[in-house]
Amino acid sequence: MNIFKKKRSISMLSGSLALVTGFLATLAQAATVEISALFSPDPLNPHFNEFKNTTPSSGLCNTFPIFCRSRGLYSIRLGFEAQSQGPILANHADIRQGVMIKVPAEVRIIQVHSSTGQTADLEFSITAFSGSNRTRDVNELTGRPPGSNAYYTNNVLWNGMSWGFNAPAPCVLGAGMYPSNIDADYFWLTPQAAACGKSPAFDIDHLLLRNASVSYLMTTPDPLKMESGIYRGSITYTVGPGMDFDFGDVLLPTDSSVTLNFTLDVQHTLKFQFPAGADRLALNPAGGWQQWINHGRRPEKLVANQDFKMWSSTPFSMKLQCEHAVGVHCGVKNPAGDIVAVETRVTLPEGLQDDAKRPVNRNPLSIVPSVFAPTYYVDNGRAALHFDVAREQVKHMIEEHSGSTYSGSVTIIWDSSITP
């Protein structure tokens, strides 16, 4: 019996993305940021079935990498600024008349699409905001002598609540940041989509919000349930008074919106390795033909097994293509034209399941595709094909066609182009 194997390997698609922040000088323009993530199975960590964020880091997590890494956070610079359109008055009562920050902290669902029409959902939320407030020399603003300590003077300017070390509720201080005479850097966690603001103790004639960046949490879909390929999606946040990013009524941004473009690159592996000579198998009784030759004892069945190795991070189907079909199964045929059925079964490594989520142990194969899916990346797993001729078929062959040779080809077709 000849056995030929055919496989469809998944091509490795890759997308090269650079983080581009758009800065345009008019309010009607929009900033654009690229966010990318990659899934490629890792033989050293086969149970890690998650995307890796490949977005070039910019903004606050570049300054505080350990803080962000320990919390699974990433950051991006937004590409816009906000500047005051008039003076910020001392001790104002309305938070919107000063320097305030409100970010879209709630979770947003973004749908990504592949070129073949497959879709998946990811979750995205803003978790922190960072920026730098640039003013005239704070010693001039507060009337303190030139060269006075910048940290102390900033505390005086902001009623003892410097931006770098004090975050008003509901914001939470992320990390302490020392100011200079003209720049007050800050890093605030933003657990709610609510305004956080401060009122100065002295009038501020002009203030520029620079280096605006956010930290974000992105929950990506299960890559094992996605086809290989590039998935794209986007979300647009509005920027300005009363918008998603809101800095009050005095600070107006240079852009009216910021669009985040998402690219998920899924690079699956599907590979099979058969030993030399696996394309030809002989069906024999268990233990050989000696019981029949020496004692005339008819074999219970004829069997052949073929071991192979496999790698898989994607769902796939298996089906038969027969030289001699017997219903939905394949068969072998003798010169007289007599055909008997050969049952074909498969055993797959741990980590692969059938469509009922059961381990694959001698599952029957036919000309109708059977679908299997990984629960984690299967790396160099042991598998086997099993071929049996049943007892009644063996009886027919011996009693009706003794001495005859039966042969036939069974082609095993693997196909990864299926919808998980």
Give pLDDT tens digits for 287-314.
666 666 555 667 778 999 999 999 999 9
Question: Does 224 lie in the same domain as 308?
Answer: no
Answer yes or no: is pLDDT of 225 > 60.
Answer: yes
Looking at residue 4, its pLDDT comes to 34
Residue 306 maps to a domain: yes
Q: Cα–Cα distances in Å, from 162 out to 155, 197, 200, 251?
A: 5, 11, 10, 19
Who contacts 134 (Cβ-Cβ below 8 Å, separation ≥6)?
182, 183, 184, 207, 208, 209, 210
Using the 3D structure, point to which of 245, 266, 287 is the last residue of a domain.
266
Q: What is the pLDDT of residue 290?
A: 63
174, 97: one domain:
yes
Give the helix/strand (H/E) hosting 153.
helix 150-157
- Is 21 among the domain residues? no
* Domain containing residue 300: 270-415
**Average pLDDT of the residues in 139-155:** 94
Q: Bigger pLDDT: 417 or 414?
A: 414
The DSSP annotation for 58-115 comes to -SHHHHSHHHHHHTT-EEEE----EEESS-B-TT-S-GGGSEEEB---S-EEEEEEET
Which of 228, 243, 266 terminates a domain? The answer is 266
Is residue 130 over pLDDT 60? yes
Do 303 and 185 lie in a common domain?
Answer: no
Separation between Cα atoms, residue 262 and residue 37, nearest integer Å: 8
Q: Are strands 409-415 and 2-6 parallel, antiparallel or unpaired?
A: parallel
Q: How far apart are CA 142 and CA 196, in angstroms?
A: 23
Between CA 114 and CA 225 the distance in angstroms is: 13
Q: Residue 399 pLDDT > 90, yes or no?
A: no
What is the predicted pLDDT for the residue at 419?
Answer: 59
279, 296: one domain = yes
- The CATH number of the domain holding residue 399 is 2.60.40
Instruction: Kindly tell me if the per-residue pLDDT of 1 is higher than 50.
Output: no
Instruction: Based on the fold, state whether residues 236 and 328 are members of the same structural domain.
Output: no
* 338 falls within a domain: yes
Q: What is the pLDDT of residues 309-339, one digit of tens each?
A: 999 999 999 999 999 999 999 999 999 999 9
Task: Flag whether pLDDT at 253 surpasses 90.
Answer: yes
Interatomic CA distance for residues 3 and 104, integer angstroms: 59
The answer to whether residues 257 and 316 belong to one domain is: no
Q: What secondary structure does DSSP assign to 262-314, as a single string?
A: EEEEE---EEEE--TTTTB---EETT-SHHHHHH-PPPS-EEEEEEEEEEESS
pLDDT at residue 6, as a whole number: 31
pLDDT above 70 covers what percent of the chain? 90
Residue 92 to residue 309: CA distance in whole angstroms? 72
Average confidence (pLDDT) over 211-230? 93
Q: What is the pLDDT of residue 179?
A: 94
Tell me whether residue 405 is in a domain: yes
Whether 371 shows a pLDDT value over 60: the answer reads yes
My answer on whether 317 and 196 are in the same domain is no
Residue where one domain finishes, among candidates 266, 299, 328: 266
Region 217-227: mean pLDDT is 93
Same domain, 274 and 255: no
Q: Are residues 280 and 260 in the same domain?
A: no
Q: How confident is the model at residue 31 (pLDDT cuts 50, 70, 90)?
A: confident
Confidence class of residue 11 from pLDDT cuts 50, 70 and 90? very low
Q: Is residue 1 part of a domain?
A: no
Q: Are residues 120 and 237 in the same domain?
A: yes
Q: Which residues contact 149 (CB under 8 A, 6 or more apart)?
A: none
Are 123 and 199 found together in one domain?
A: yes
HSE (CB half, 13 Å, CA atoms) of 357?
Answer: 1
**Residue 6: inside a domain:** no
| 5 within domain boundaries | no
- Of the given ranges (6-15, 163-172, 186-195, 333-342), which has the lowest mean pLDDT? 6-15
Q: Say if residue 254 is in the same domain as residue 381.
A: no
For the chain, percent of residues with pLDDT exceeding 90: 75
DSSP 340-398: EEEEEEEE--TTEEETTS-B-SSEEE-SS-EEEEESS-EEEEEEEEEEEE-HHHHHHHH
Has residue 61 got a pLDDT over 90? no
In a domain, 7, yes or no: no
Average pLDDT, the chain: 88
If one counts the domains in the chain, the total is 2
